[in-house]
Amino acid sequence: MSSRAPGRSVTVEAPPNIALVKYWGVRDPALALPYNSSLSVTLDRLRSRTTVRFDPALTEDRVVLNGEAARGGPRDGVVRFLDRVRGLAGLEARASVVSANNFPTASGLASSASGFAALASAASGAAGLALSPRGLSQLARFGSGSASRSIFGGFVEWRAGHRPDGRDCYARPLAGPRHWPPLVDLVVLVRGAPVKEVRSQDAMQRSVATSPFYAERQRALPGRLARIRTAIAHRDADRLFPLVMEECDSFRQVCETTDPELDYLTDTSRTVLDAVVALNRARGRPVAAYTHDAGAHVHVFTLDRHLAAVRRCVAEIDGVERTMVVRPGPGARPIPRAPTGRAGRRRRAAARVRSRRSAG
Ligand code: DP6
């Protein structure tokens, strides 16, 4: 961008994801390389929408998150990320970044994953970098590790790789969003979920250094990940659900034995986990699986035919604010710019007529 004219503006929407195999521990902080591979489901309905434009007239990066000028840690994270994009593209210009979520930020619903996946795609596009989806996943992890997986839809694995230079560390899709239509995620939002005090990136390094169960977890992970991958490929809920809970329990054990302890759940979250165990026992087979990330809300996976029963059993628990049904959805995608000029005006007028007709 040699002229003083602003560059093109690029808008991208990206979803959060929920990990079935958790990323927890960084082997190389400078390259953001994890100790272990992880696997997640990209969620529909929820999204971050981010618009980026590099503008040589700006004297500093302008960052607006959910309608307000960002400050402190959240702003610093975005600026650091933009610096990386500028470095890759050989750009000097500062940027304007406007981002909003259609779900509560810092609610424990992985807004950093959707936020940085959207920022990676929008900022690299606005900077003129034509990155492949794999390249985008490699860029996004510098904002937030889990963001690397939100580039893709459906069922996604983030491979830790072995190389010190990180070239074999990237996310890849295992199966698309329509792979297993009856699989649903009942998100159970609990009241009074505490706001995260320690960033996951820092908390996980505390676990690496202090949890006596960290090494044991690392040894068990490759086998568990392979079994989860196979259960997903065969759409085998009887195998998948117990493995998902085993993995979640292992993650929680590591958190609870970290010094100082990392306790993400509330009493209500724990009651939800117990209710899922009790339901499976009563049915004599695994009809549901709980999991949670570094937050108090619980995701309960089940199949459509058990959804009503699962919902009944968790919705009545004291302290559950509400439940939300989400499904595997698409990954990050660019939003075409609204057309301008005469064609745009005509299209917008036609849309107004259509919406008046459907309202009347
Ligand atoms: C428990 O590094 O993605 O959700 O602190 O928000 O950047 P931030 O978190 P991130 O850690 C994610 C940890 C996890 C497990 C997972 O999503 O794999």
Kindly report the average pLDDT of the chain as a whole number. 93
Q: What is the mean pLDDT of residues 59-74?
A: 96
Residue among 18, 20, 22, 23 to mutate when testing ligand 1 (max atoms within 8 A of CB): 23
- The residue whose CA is least distant from atom 9 of ligand 1 is 200
Q: Is residue 333 part of a domain?
A: no
What is the tens place of the pLDDT at every residue in 182-195? 999 999 999 988 87
Clarify whether residues 173 and 263 are in a common domain. no
Strands 94-101 and 62-65: parallel
Cross-strand pairs, 94: 55
pLDDT attached to residue 62: 98
Range with lowest mean pLDDT among 135-144, 251-260, 305-314, 335-344: 335-344
Residues 139 and 199 reside in one and the same domain: no
- 198 and 102 within one domain: no
Nearest ligand 1 atom, CA 113: 3
User: Ligand 1: distance of its center to the CA of 144 in Å?
Assistant: 7
Q: Are residues 113 and 247 located together in one domain of the fold? A: no
Instruction: For residues 206 and 88, state if they share a domain.
Output: no
In DSSP terms, 63 is beta-bridged to 97
pTM over 0.75? The answer is yes
Mean pLDDT of 3-31: 93
237 lies in a domain? yes
Residue with the smallest CA separation from ligand 1 atom 5 is 200
Q: Which atom of ligand 1 is nearest to the CA of 17?
A: 17
Counting from 1 in the atom list of ligand 1, the atom nearest the Cα of 294 is 1
Report the separation in Å between the CA atom of 44 and the middle of ligand 1, taken as the mean of its atom positions. Answer: 19
Average pLDDT over residues 124-152: 98
Indicate which CATH number applies to the domain containing 101: 3.30.230.10
Tell me whether residue 223 is in a domain.
Answer: yes
Q: What is the widest separation between alpha-carbon atoms in the chain? A: 69
Same domain, 118 and 47: yes
User: Which residues are near ligand 1 (CB < 6 Å)?
Assistant: 19, 22-24, 38, 112-113, 144-146, 199-201, 293-294
Q: What is the 3-state secondary structure (H, E, C) of the chain?
A: CCCCCCCCCEEEEECCEEEEECCCCEEECCCCEECCCEEEEEECCCCEEEEEEEECCCCCCEEEECCEECCHHHHHHHHHHHHHHHHHHCCCCEEEEEEEECCCCCCCCCHHHHHHHHHHHHHHHHCCCCCCHHHHHHHHCCCCHHHHHHHCCCEEEEECCCCCCCCCCEEEEEECCCCCCCEEEEEEEECCCCCCCCCHHHHHHHHHHHCCCHHHHHHHHHHHHHHHHHHHHCCCHHHHHHHHHHHHHHHHHHHHCCCCCCCCCCHHHHHHHHHHHHHHHHHCCCCEEEECCCCCCEEEEEEHHHHHHHHHHHHCCCCEEEEEEECECCCCEEECCCCCHHHHHHHHHHHHHHHHHHHC
For the segment 216-245, the average pLDDT, to the nearest whole number, is 98
The percent of residues in the chain predicted with pLDDT above 90, rounded, is 86
Q: How many angstroms separate the alpha carbon of residue 40 from the centre of ligand 1?
A: 11
- Give the chain's domain count: 2
CA distance 108 to 104: 9
What is the span of the domain harbouring residue 82? 9-177
Q: Are residues 172 and 207 in the same domain?
A: no
Please indicate, yes or no, whether residues 115 and 60 belong to a single structural domain of this protein. Answer: yes
pLDDT in tens, 326-357: 999 999 999 998 776 666 667 667 656 654 55
Distance 283 CA to ligand 1 centre (A): 33
Are 325 and 186 in contact by the 8 Å Cβ rule? The answer is: yes
Q: Find the mean pLDDT for residues 150-164.
A: 98
- Evaluate whether residue 133 is within a structural domain: yes
pLDDT at 358 over 60: no
CA 11–ligand 1 middle distance (angstroms): 24
For the CA of 293, the closest atom of ligand 1 is 1
Return the best residue to mutate from 159, 200, 201 for the ligand 1 pocket (most ligand atoms within 8 A of CB): 200
Q: CA triplet 288, 268, 316: central angle to 5 degrees?
A: 65
**Same domain (yes/no): 230, 163:** no
> What pLDDT is stored for residue 360 in this prediction?
35
Tell me the CA–centroid distance for residue 42 and ligand 1, in Å: 14
Q: pLDDT category, 310, cuts 50, 70, 90?
A: very high
- What's the whole-number mean pLDDT along residues 213-232? 98
**Ligand 1: residue whose CA is nearest its atom 12:** 146
Q: Is 241 a residue whose pLDDT tops 60?
A: yes
Tell me the β-bridge partners of 45.
none
Q: Do residue 158 and residue 257 come from a single domain?
A: no
Query: What is the CATH number for 268?
Result: 3.30.70.890
| Burial of 174 from C-beta contacts in 10 A (0-12 / 13-18 / 19+) | middle
Q: Is residue 62 part of a domain?
A: yes
Evaluate whether residue 356 is within a structural domain: no
pLDDT, position 10:
98
pLDDT surpassing 80 at residue 79: yes
Q: Hey, what amino acid is at 106?
A: A
| Inside any domain, residue 136 | yes
Mean pLDDT of 105-120: 82
Of 145, 177, 209, the residue at which a domain comes to its end is 177
Nearest to 285 by CA among 227, 324, 223, 236: 236
Mean pLDDT, range 238-267, rounded to an integer: 98
210 & 261 share domain = yes
Q: Are residues 113 and 189 in the same domain?
A: no
pLDDT at 163: 98
Position 320 pLDDT exceeds 60: yes
Which of 146, 177, 208 lies at the terminal end of a domain, its last residue? 177
Q: Is residue 85 part of a domain?
A: yes
Q: At residue 52, what is the residue type? A: V
Q: Which pLDDT belongs to residue 6?
A: 77
Report the separation in Å between the CA atom of 356 and the middle of ligand 1, taken as the mean of its atom positions: 44
Q: So what's the pLDDT on residue 1?
A: 47
Q: Name the residue of 146, 207, 211 whose CB sits within 8 Å of the most ligand 1 atoms, as the mutation to test its pocket.
A: 146
For ligand 1, atom 1, the nearest C-alpha belongs to 293
| pLDDT over 80 (residue 2) | no
Q: Whose CA is nearest to atom 8 of ligand 1?
A: 200
Provide the pLDDT confidence category of residue 359 given band limits of 50, 70 and 90: very low
